[in-house]
Amino acid sequence: MTAAPRKVACVEIGGIPIALSTCDQGFLNLLRQRYDGFLSSSPPEFELEFDLTGTGPASDDDVRVRRNVDDDEWLIERGDFRARWAPRTGQGNVRQNANPYSLDSVLRILHSLILAERGGFLLHAASAICDGRAYLFSGVSGAGKTTMTRLAPADITLLTDEISYLRPSADGYAAFGTPFAGELAKPGENCTAPVSALFFLQKGPENRVDELSSAEAVRRLMRNILFFAEDRGYPDARVWDEIRNFQEVPEHA
């Protein structure tokens, strides 16, 4: 029996086009509707093939992301999807339920892995463009990210109310719009601007801006960066073998 031909939608987020292919016309229609405004005719840098396992809700399980060093593949798993992606070839495959929330999760994780190799990152923050510059509003859940975007005047361009997409640029960092919506249930605009300022939100009785020290700002920033992979770079007990060997190396004159 001949397999059904695959159909492709190319979705470009943050200037990185990824081809999403499927044999299911209904799922292709969902892709196009979900990422309308981010569909692209650019040659894709990466490709994901989707095979559907049926219908069902997104899972509440924790996501597991790990790298298989032997075959240089990333394995991404949750109760509603299982994905493999090879950075060297740019090819990957996904088995998942036919719902958009699973799809969003896979794409967010994939972009976080790609950005990590390029000096960029995803940040738990709302962001918007004002007078040609991007402003970011980061904080824990309930701090006011969605409120900031909801209060924005009509001439403000929303990039995201949930997850900000940041990449290095000639002048520092640039923020990009994403289709990943939070409580506002509204995707961002597909545009970009240089980052002017990052605000860490905290509820209080008045509107006020306090400057933070560089150390405190970095500490808060790191706490809100999204990265899903297990870090296998930590030392284990064998590190002491290296220390002993180091101590035994004779000093050079």
The winner for highest mean pLDDT among 103-117, 179-193, 202-216 is 103-117
CA 248 to chain centroid: 45
Residue 120 has pLDDT above 90, yes or no: yes
238 has pLDDT over 70: no
- Give the model's pLDDT for residue 229: 62
pLDDT at 76 over 70: yes
Q: What is the pLDDT of residue 74?
A: 93
Q: How confident is the model at residue 5 (pLDDT cuts 50, 70, 90)?
A: confident
Q: How, if at all, do strands 157-160 and 121-130 pair?
A: antiparallel
- Burial class from Cβ neighbours inside 10 Å (0-12, 13-18, 19+) for residue 94 reads buried
Strands, E assignment, the chain: 7-13, 16-22, 46-52, 64-68, 73-78, 81-86, 91-96, 121-130, 133-138, 157-160, 163-169, 172-176, 192-200, 225-226
C-alpha–C-alpha distance, residues 59 and 86, integer Å: 24
What is the pLDDT at residue 240?
A: 63
| pTM listed for this prediction | 0.83
pLDDT of res. 243: 61
C-alpha gyration radius of the chain: 21
Mean of the per-residue pLDDT values of the chain: 85
Percentage, residues of the chain above pLDDT 70: 87
Alpha-carbon dihedral of residues 19, 54, 30, 50, nearest 10 degrees? Answer: 0
